[in-house]
Amino acid sequence: MAAATSSVLKWASKDGSFRRQVSSFRDFISTDPSARFVAEPGRYHLYVSWACPWAHRAVIVRALKGLEDVIGLSAVHFLLQDKGWRFDHKGETTPGVIPDTVNNALYLSEIYYKANPQYEGRFTVPVLWDKQEQTIVNNESSEVIRMLNTSFDQWSSAPHITYYPDNLVKEIDSLNEWIYDEINNGVYKAGFATSQEAYETNYEKVFSGLAKVEKILSNKKWLCGDTLTEADVRLWTTIVRFDPVYHTHFKCSGGTIAHDYPNILRWTRQFYALPKIAETVNMSHIKQHYYRSHIQINPTAIVPVWDGPDLKST
């Protein structure tokens, strides 16, 4: 256990490059009644951080599919310290924190150790928990959103809507691949770099990626045309954090969404205007997490005032 907790705030490898940990729990929820993890209302619980873009993806799909009464939700405190994500301590009532009423955990690590007492990785969000089997089903956001997209359609308020339609699978997969590398994870690879070479290499990739997205959106409503897909969801959670966090905190200072990417800005506001999306954005948690948790980058823990562009503008 000590290995996991002692390394939780060490982001870069010895060569100065940031390499994201591969998710450890990779099971799937199925509609097959004989499956170990079968889809049922009230059986599964989602652990998230409002600050985390990967967890934000899952919250968005849960909202878009109308699964709020089907899958429970707990949200951790914004401050990430040496023991990992936590909930409110006794006497705290932090706005946005949703206590763990399933396992009554104080730290997210307790959930991981309950699923696997020998777990040695990072304690990441999102976590999809099975209350029946008393274990983690999956902690890989890209797979969690696929399950939320289809596995619970019997109880969904939008059962006929899919964000991974068969006719767009190839296009979505292609977009996801380079957007993840250059933008989603690219901002982290730039921000957590501890060598100038690693930082500059990934900095260039971030803005190359943004330029490609800006061009795509010059003549498309969404990344795949007129259809909102998971590619939009996956990119949007990074873009909504770009100006208030990544531009400054991660030194991705080559431009802002507000002033340099009009097509991305239009798309960002368009997504924000979708039903229930605004409720998934907690900018206080987002800013306080990054600027107060990453003490190796921002030792003063001062949080900038600006929240980024006005998302309600048209």
Tokens at 253, concatenated: 């200072």
Find out whether 124 is annotated in a ligand binding site: yes
Question: Using an 8 Å Cβ cutoff, are 289 and 51 in contact?
Answer: yes
Find out whether 234 is annotated in a ligand binding site: no
- Which conformational region is residue 90 in: left (phi greater than 0), alpha (psi within -120 to 50 degrees), or beta? beta
Q: What is the model's pLDDT at position 24?
A: 84
pLDDT exceeding 70 applies to what percent of the chain?
Answer: 92
Question: Closest Cα partner for 125 from 231, 181, 53?
Answer: 53
Express each pLDDT in 199-246 by its tens digit: 999 999 999 999 999 999 999 999 999 999 999 999 999 999 999 999
Give 159's contacts (C-beta < 8 A, 6+ positions apart): 153
Q: Please give the backbone phi and psi of residue 12, each rounded to the nearest 5 degrees, phi first.
A: -95, 155
> How far apart, in Å, are the Cα atoms of 215 and each of 209, 219, 269?
10, 8, 17
- The separation between the first and the last C-alpha atoms of the chain, rounded to the nearest angstrom, is 50
Instruction: Report the interhelical angle of 169-179 vs 196-216 (nearest 10°).
Output: 150
Catalytic residue among 52, 261, 272, 290: 52
Express each pLDDT in 236-252 by its tens digit: 999 999 999 999 999 99
Q: For residue 252, indicate whether it is catalytic.
A: no
**How many CB atoms within 10 Å of residue 222?**
16
Catalytic residue among 44, 107, 112, 188: 188
Question: Using an 8 Å Cβ cutoff, are 187 and 252 in contact?
Answer: yes
